[in-house]
Structure 1
Amino acid sequence: MIDIAKAKPGDEVFVIYRNPAVLTAANVTAAEIVQHPNNPNTLALYLNEKFHDLDEDDALFNSSDAAIKAYESHFFDFGE
């Protein structure tokens, strides 16, 4: 995972994004770290043509493979 404290504008990251219209659907998607449009002193995540506030609990990955692996272990690891 990427340390949000080390993120900078222009960084491409990958996130596990839950579809707000279908709460049981989630996928891995690319996003970009940008300066927040309303507060230039903070960063935001630009995802699906929207700005999202970054939170220290957000899981950002440096590759789609790393995000997919985390997704699969979180949603499909049943301790088998």
Structure 2
Amino acid sequence: MNLNESGHGFQAGDIVYVIYRNPHTQNVANVQSAAVVHDPDNPEALSIFLYDTYYPLNDEVAVYASETEAEEAYQYYFGDALEG
């Protein structure tokens, strides 16, 4: 279940899964766990903390409740075995 589409809320401390593209090699993507945290620049907002970086938690980010759901989405969109 893509949490953004389902309307489920997030709470700081939740562990979620995203499909992450390697910024150095754009043709490499994988499913990665991430933490939902309070945005350090705006404590009222939530962010995703992934690879020591904060990413805005908004409708542009597909976030999944389980690794299995994220892997299924990966297969749907990319059709290849997971990299990494």
TM-score normalised by length of structure 1: 0.88
Residue equivalent to 1:39 = 42
RMSD (Å), alpha carbons: 1.6
What per-residue deviation string (whole Å, max 9, x for no partner) do you get for residues 25-61 of structure 1? 0000000100000111111000011111112121111
Matched, 1:75 2:78: yes
Counterpart-to-counterpart distance in 2, 1:58 and 1:52:
9
- Which structure features the higher share of strand residues? 2
- Cα offset, 1:2, TM superposition: 1.1
Structure with higher Rg: it is 1
Q: Given the alignment, which residue of 48, 58, 71 partners 1:55?
A: 58
Residue equivalent to 1:18 = 21
Ranges in structure 1 where 5+ consecutive residues have no aligned partner: none
Counterpart-to-counterpart distance in 2, 1:55 and 1:42:
10
Aligned length: 77
Instruction: Give the 4+ runs in structure 1 shifted more than 4 A.
Output: none
